[in-house]
Amino acid sequence: MHLLPLLSFRYAEVRIVFEIEQRAIEEKIKRFCLEEGLPEPVLQWSWIPFSGHWGISTSFFALAAQEARQGGQVNIPERAQGIARAVADYLGRPAGFERVEAVKGYLNLYFSTPGYTQQVIDTVLEKGEDFGRGEPLNRRVMVEFSQPNTHKAFHVGHLRNVILGAAVANLLEFAGNEVIRANYIGDIGLHVIKWLWNYQKFHLGEEPGEDRIRWLGDIYAEAERRSEGSPEAEAEIRALFARWDRRDPQVVELWEKSRAWSLEGFDQVYRMLGVHFDRVYFESEVEEPGKKLVEELIARGIARDERPEGAVIVPLDEILGEKEKYRVLVVLRSDGTSLYATKDLPLAIKKFEEYNLDQSIYVIDVRQSLYLQQIFKTLELMGYDWAKNCYHLAYEIVNLPGNVTMKSRDGTVVLLEDLVREATSRALEIVRTKNPELSNEQQEMVAHAVALGAIKYSMLSRDNTKIVTFDWQSALDFNGQAAPYIQYAYVRANSILRKANQALPASQLPVYELSPVEIELVELISRFPKEVQRAAKEYRPLYLANLAYDLARVFNDFYNQCPVLQAEETVRAVRLRLVAAARQTIGNCLRLMGITAPNVM
RNA sequence: GCCCCUGUAGCUCAAUGGAUAGAGCACCGGACUUCUAAUCCGAUGGCUGUGGGUUCGACUCCCACCAGGGGCGCCA
């Protein structure tokens, strides 16, 4: 898939359990092939897909096909089964496995149930919050996300970016990278000037109330309405932009004041979402460096100055000998004012200079794909080798029903504030009926966790390339495959452990026959470390969202089928540890997604 | 015109190139004297947009087409 960058490094192999046993079997199979005069096989292991059983599986179709190419006519599936059969006989029953079978060309190796269960549970409980964490990769990555514009509303369309960016940052970090979470705030540009213009003319002296973001957003939307199609207004706005450009103290003062209001609003939002940043960049800090950089580009012949008739451009296709591929990047307006590109170039450089990054990720919606390729290409032309380590993590946007895109300028938005308030009050209503004995404070905490969890999960459980259609009904639906379901499983596990009212028993080798649902639960738990690596590699929190749901579903099943506290002592001890391991793993999944796992609900 | 994304159950979405394509919602029928029913069990529902190709094997990879969405010089 072209969206994925070529990985110039290797993620550390995940070692959980049975890796040594697997290696030994690989060796034996290779030896078998050698003895039988078969080609050396390339073994790809996967999970046995039958629920209630676990183990590892590989097939011999490739080997049979290879043989067929060298020799005569062979029925591949039959031959694959023949080899699998022979290998199974050859292997006998290796240590650590309870059964080996050959089915339909597959060799299935079933783990020894008690041993595997004990190993998985012990590993989880020993590692705790670090269960699933990858080995340090000695690799530094910056994830830039959120990038809000000051003086504008913060709406549901912006939410996906924050949630995805935060989750990807968590994932990369947990997978073993050193992660720097960066924000890049649009605190200057035409939209800001329009806001200032409207404020000066119609709202002078007003101050924001509690709900800063709404107030700021309203003034902005009004500015758009007032200026649209009015040459007079546009002239005034241009004049104001010019005053800004020469740093007229009066304009700067108002800018600073209103900008601060906006930033306070953002802080509220990020606090509510539980997101933090290690480094915050501002457009205003790279505007002047950007203009200097454009001069340099012109001097070096990379950019062409077409002023005053045209703008300053980098004719990428012309330089690269391409046709309609990279097109033309405009780096400065004809009137000398800055554009996105003017600022993104110096910002990219600054990031690498400040942090000596191995990778720089831009979490930005898919509509800016071409633009970002242009930026990266221009940096490459400037001679920056690291340009190839810039990566655009594109995601699809959040639309309103009828495929209507949210736009601050049109006011066709659902404010984040409204969504969270509505979701929280709905959740509060439910928690009050379900759990009236909780204190008000507890109920509110639960409602907040549930509401935000549901919102976050609905975005993370969808692939990055899929458009999200926002509608109130499904946004406020806490049923089915949703965060509350997962949180509830966590709470149930927690409840059992609390009621056990004892320290966790010591490590146990199960001496009773485990039920299929217990086996499935252990298997899902054991997948977590690999899923972390896979999700990090592909920048897809979706994999975690799926695993978390599967864990919750199987745990609920277990909960119904397998008594814990009432069970006889040997069973009880194992199950208590299993419950603790499930709780830990579900909790780790939720934490990476930025979703709170409440203790009660 | 060039480029990108999407197309799977009525709807919203899953599914390492592998074994019988799975969930949720909706609809129908069941289960609370039990570790929290925000739960569970059962039933219904499919020519994976179409046509080729690669492969032992394709929802998955390649090509063409169809449908929807997005991007392509001074917006962000």
CA of A338 to C1' of B76 (A): 12
Confidence band for A53, pLDDT divided at 50, 70 and 90: low
Which protein residue has its CA closest to C1' of B20?
A50
- Cα A304 to Cα A288: distance, rounded to the nearest angstrom: 19
A567 closest-nt by C1' vs CA: B35
Give the nucleotide nearest to A483 (CA→C1'): B38
Distance A398 CA to B8 C1' (A): 22
* Mean pLDDT of the A89-114 span: 89
What would the pLDDT profile of A502-551 be if each residue is shown by its tens digit?
Answer: 999 999 999 998 888 898 899 899 999 999 999 999 999 999 999 999 99
Cα of A12 vs its chain's centroid, Å: 20
Label residue A258 by pLDDT band (50, 70, 90): very high
CA distance A275 to A293: 33
Mean pLDDT taken over chain A: 91
Spatial CA neighbour of A39 closest among A92, A79, A94: A79
- Lowest-pLDDT range of A139-148, A451-460, A513-522: A513-522
Residues above pLDDT 70, as percent of chain A:
96
Position A52 scores a pLDDT of: 63
pLDDT at A51: 60
Band of residue A12 on the pLDDT scale cut at 50, 70, 90: very low
* Residue A554: per-residue pLDDT: 94
pLDDT for the residue A14? 34
Quick one: which residue's CA is nearest to B31's C1'? A560
How distant is C1' of B16 from CA of A105, in Å? 18
* Whole-Å CA distances, A85 to A37, A106, A160: 16, 9, 50
| Interval A548-555 mean pLDDT | 96
List C-alpha distances in Å: A100 to A16, A107, A524.
Answer: 21, 7, 21
> What secondary structure letter does DSSP report for A130?
G
A541: helix, strand or coil: coil
Taking residues A50-65, what's their average pLDDT? Answer: 82
Confidence of residue A72 (pLDDT cuts 50, 70, 90): low
Nucleotide nearest to A485 (CA to C1'): B38
Average pLDDT over residues A282-297: 96
CB A173 within 8 A of CB A132: no
Through-space separation of residue A371 CA and nucleotide B2 C1' in angstroms: 15
A84 CA from B19 C1′ (Å): 14
CA of A339 to C1' of B48 (A): 44
The CA distances from residue A442 to A406, A435, A450, A489, in Å, are: 35, 10, 12, 18
For residues A146 and A162, what is the distance between their CA atoms, to the nearest angstrom?
Answer: 5
In this prediction, residue A10 has a pLDDT band, given cuts at 50, 70 and 90, of very low
Taking each helix axis as running N to C, give the angle between helix A440-460 and helix A569-593, from 0 to 180 degrees, rounded to the nearest 10.
70
What is the Cα–Cα distance from A274 to A420, expressed in whole angstroms? 13
CA of A25 to C1' of B43 (A): 44
Nearest nt to the CA of A327 via C1' is B72
The residue lying closest to nucleotide B60, measuring its CA against C1', is: A1
Residues A178-196 have a mean pLDDT of 95
Give the list of residues 6+ apart from residue A360 with CB closer than 8 angstroms, or none: A141, A142, A144, A348, A351, A352, A386, A389, A390, A391
Which protein residue has its CA closest to C1' of B3? A325
Residue nearest to nucleotide B4 (CA to C1'): A369
How large is the ipTM?
0.95
> For residue A482, which nucleotide's C1' is closest to its Cα?
B24
Three-state DSSP string of A136-205: CCCCEEEEECCCCECCCCCEHHHHHHHHHHHHHHHHHHHCCCEEEEEEEEECCCHHHHHHHHHHHHHHCC
> Which residue, counting CA atoms, is nearest to the C1' of nucleotide B2?
A324
Q: How far is the CA of A514 from the C1' of B41 (A)?
A: 21
Instruction: Report the side by side order of strands in the sheet with A178-185.
Output: A279-282, A178-185, A140-144, A359-365, A390-395
pLDDT at A486 over 80: yes
Which of A231-235, A276-280, A304-308, A409-413 shows the lowest mean pLDDT across its residues?
Answer: A409-413
Least confident range of A87-101, A334-348, A432-446: A87-101
Under 8 Å between Cβ of A284 and A263: no
Q: A557 CA, B42 C1': separation in Å?
A: 15
Residue A364 β-bridge partners: A394
| Of A38-42, A135-139, A467-471, the least confident | A38-42
Question: Is residue A38 a contact partner of residue A63, using CB atoms and an 8 Å limit?
Answer: yes
Q: Is the pLDDT of residue A183 over 60?
A: yes
Exposure of A546 in the CB half-sphere (CA atoms within 13 A) = 11
- The confidence score (pLDDT) of residue A586 equals 97
Whole-structure pTM value: 0.93
Name the residue closest to B56, CA to C1'.
A76
* In the predicted structure, residue A73 carries a pLDDT above the cut 70: no
Q: Å from A481 (CA) to B1 (C1')?
A: 44
* Per-residue confidence (pLDDT) for residue A75, from 0 to 100: 84
pLDDT at position A552 is 96
Q: What percent of chain A clears pLDDT 90, i.e. is strictly above it?
A: 76
Which amino acid residue lies closest to nucleotide B13, measuring CA to C1'? A462
Say how far apart CA A524 and CA A531 lie, in whole Å.
Answer: 10
The residue-averaged pLDDT of A370-397 equals 97
- Burial of residue A402 (CB within 10 Å: 0-12, 13-18, 19+) is exposed
Distance A64 CA to B24 C1' (A): 41
CA of A57 to C1' of B35 (A): 36
pLDDT of residue A409: 78
Q: Which nucleotides of B are covered by protein (CB under 7 A)?
A: 1-6, 12-16, 18-20, 23-26, 35-41, 55-57, 61, 68-76
**Structural contact between residues A312 and A298, judged by C-beta atoms closer than 8 angstroms:** yes
pLDDT for the residue numbered A98:
86
Q: In this structure, are strands A312-314 and A304-305 parallel, antiparallel, or unpaired?
A: antiparallel
Q: Are A374 and A326 in contact (CB under 8 A)?
A: yes
Report whether pLDDT(A71) > 90. Answer: no
Closest nt to residue A559, judged CA to C1': B35
Residue A432, nucleotide of least CA–C1' distance? B38
Cβ burial A195-213 (10 Å sphere, 16+ → b, else e): bbbbbeeeeeeeebeeebb
Nearest amino-acid residue to B7, taking CA and C1': A466
Distance A403 CA to B50 C1' (A): 26
**What's the rounded mean pLDDT across residues A58-74?**
82
What is the distance in angstroms measured between the alpha-carbon CA of A3 and the sugar C1' of B57?
Answer: 27
Checking each nucleotide's C1' against the CA of A335, the nearest proves to be: B74
